[in-house]
Amino acid sequence: MNAAHMSAQTLTQLSYLVAAGLFIVGLKRMSSPLTAVSGVHWAGAGMLLATIVTLAFMGASQLNLLLVLAAMLVGGGLAWISGKRVAMTDMPQMIALYNGMGGGAAAAIAAVELYRGSAHSTTHLAIALIGGFIGSVSFSGSLIAFGKLQGLITKAIRFRGQKLVNLAFLVATVAAGAAIVAGMQSGAPVVSAFFLLALALGIAMTLPIGGADMPVVISLYNALTGLAVAFEGFVLDNAAMIIAGTVVGAAGTLLTQLMAKAMNRSLGNVLFSNFGESGAASGAVTGTQKAIEAQDAGVMLAFSQKVIVVPGYGMAVAQAQHKVWELCQLLIEHGVTVRFAIHPVAGRMPGHMNVLLAEAGVPYDLISDLDEINAEFDTADVALIIGANDVVNPDARTNKQSPIYGMPILSADKAKNVIVIKRGQGQGFSGIDNALFVLDQTRMLYGDAQSAAGQLIQAVKAAG
């Protein structure tokens, strides 16, 4: 090995180390809304450095380098265009899609190594297989999650014996992988079967999962994508991939645990319980929902001292975040104290409501999470629920027969008055009725969230 090659290798590894540091700093800063944007910039700088160094010292032929650059140009261009055009309300499905692309890329790396039989040892081969398996499951599962979030798949697909089918896919995939490691064959058929079975497993695992569990599913596949990238980093002997994949995998795993904890459910329960399939009966409530007109609700808000707003997926669907903030600004001008309460699994991805409120310009100091805000509902004159459902259901505290019993909720039922903006009398994602909606202090303002917020704005102005 000549001195020039050693110098290039040393420079590459040092650059990867710096890039890894930038990834970690970026991830740390992304943990707070105040520094999240700069965190993205830090992590982006790390990725740019790692990419430039890899291209500079990859030792590829001119043709291969041109192909890589062309692929980056096409992919980067599509990402730029789609990123600029996507609505904030569609961000969950974009994240699911992009996350799937990461898993697919890791699986593609494994496929190339396996098809050309370039593994140096049994360990090297096993690592490539594990990364390929995880990446394939993440890829196909994320695509199904995208379809559900985009409305292309409108129902959770469940059938008798589904778990056995999933187990059969898993066993067959492991058997194909074991055959490859054992050297029972060196051709393409079993390798192809391995990847097809892994892709099928990702689809089969995700199809029965309902919309209520999408935050956990997205976090899980994010973690799997990171792990797949880390494994393929070992295959390619690329330190940047190993470190970046490990960091993403660890962060995704922690986030998945937090999401599951916020629902008081284990990951296995999310993946295999068919949650919500029979929840309506065990979660039935007695009582009648009482409607209120926008004019009366506006008067109630205008003459309150403290209002806590609880946004949910209904606000996202109606793209009502700007109207809601306009209403809150009007209340603040009237001397009303306004706070926003965010549940960890509100919406369809972790931080979904925070993203929407940030887009509308809501100051960060008005936004609180469940642990910070729950004690304040006792002092609130009005809890304004906008499209949220399961995350404010008091049955989670009081009804041991409810499927969501034990799930931490926002204590909106402890406010003096509750106004719920809802399109109809339907159930939430969990498939159960909400006891909050029939309480004595609760009034239902039926309609689209954006339209209802506009009516409340007019009513508050008239009351002032």
State the catalytic residues.
390
Return left, alpha or beta for 185; rule: phi > 0 is left, psi -120 to 50 is alpha, else beta: beta
Instruction: Tell me the C-alpha distance between 151 and 92, whole Å.
Output: 12
At 194, list the tokens.
């391995």
Instruction: Tell me the C-alpha distance between 35 and 43, whole Å.
Output: 12
Structural Rg of the chain based on CA atoms: 25
E strand spans, 334-464:
337-342, 367-369, 382-386, 417-422, 442-446
Amino acid found at 313 = Y
Cα dihedral angle (186, 192, 195, 200), rounded to 10 degrees?
-140
At 415, list the tokens.
């406010």
Residue 163's alpha-carbon distances to 270, 272, 273, in angstroms, are: 13, 7, 10
At 25, list the tokens.
């700093």
Residues 6+ apart with CB under 8 A from 201: 136, 137, 140, 166, 169, 170, 173
